Amino acid sequence: MTILGIDIGGTGIKGAPVNVETGELEAERFRLPTPQPARPNAVADVVEQIAAHFKYQGPAGVTFPAIVKKGVIHSASNVDQSWLQVDASQLFHHHLRGQVTVVNDADAAGMAEMRFGSGRGRQGVVIMLTFGTGIGSAIFCDGVLLPNSEFGHLQLRGKDAERRCSERVREAKSMSFKKWARIVSEYLESLERLFSPELFIIGGGISRKADKFLPYLTAKTDVLIQPAKMQNEAGIIGAACLAKIPA
């Protein structure tokens, strides 16, 4: 079955039709810049343009970088404050004229990795972390998602972890990958103490550079640390997989 997946990010909004049985994109992904300021109607207009590019009608999954409950946006740490309490599912429904499921962006990326990527077939606790403007997270137990985990806001040396070791912070401070990996390792160890995971999956755009930092990442026990396989397509694929299909 083919479902449109759309991934909303701070600088770009991208989408593609996805075969949800195989996790493969059925057309080359299409990307447009995120409008600035990224207010609800402006973003919804871009989402509509992406659907129109594929001449797509039907159910769709859309990611959003915030806490999402039943399609309503409940946080705005890294997005415009005008999104708070917006029913995004209804907003996008009016623009796409089909049923739209809105999910947290890291949850969508994690779902793609669990079904088709580094987490496929993994039991126990698996934690996916996406490093970008902030730090997104998704946690699974025996393949079941616990949504909206927001581990990027856990404290690390008195600040939110995403203010210590997001990709944006690494770039802003011109940190070497080796130095950045030491801070990320400290963060992983704190998560390890809390959740005893079997596997960490490191995602986000930085996963394309895994060879530069993965050798320096460490954990206290024998927990595995692997890069995401789906890379920048993970959000699109996961959004499509999490979309609710009309009866």
Q: 53-81: per-residue pLDDT in tens? A: 999 999 999 999 999 999 999 998 778 89
Q: What is the pTM of this model?
A: 0.93
Question: CA 30, CA 6: separation in Å to the nearest integer?
Answer: 9
Residue 79, amino acid = V
Task: Name 173's Cβ contacts closer than 8 Å, sequence gap at least 6.
Answer: none
pLDDT at 219 over 60: yes
Q: Would you tell me the crossing angle of helices 88-96 and 40-53 to the nearest 10 degrees? A: 40
Q: For the chain, what percent of residues have pLDDT higher than 70?
A: 99
DSSP state of 219: -
- 23-50 average pLDDT score: 96
Distance CA 198, CA 51 (A): 38
Could you give the domains of the chain?
A: 2-105 (3.30.420.40), 118-229 (3.30.420.40)
What digits encode the pLDDT tens for the residues 138-163? 999 999 999 999 999 999 999 999 99
pLDDT at site 183: 97
The CB density around residue 97, as the number of other CB atoms within 10 Å, is 12
99: pLDDT strictly greater than 90? yes
Yes or no: say if 184 and 135 are a contact pair by the CB < 8 Å rule: no
Is residue 38 within 8 Å of residue 60, measured between CB atoms? Answer: no
- At position 154, the amino acid (one-letter code) is L
Q: How confident is the model at residue 246 (pLDDT cuts 50, 70, 90)?
A: low
**Are the C-beta atoms of residues 9 and 131 closer than 8 Å to each other?**
no
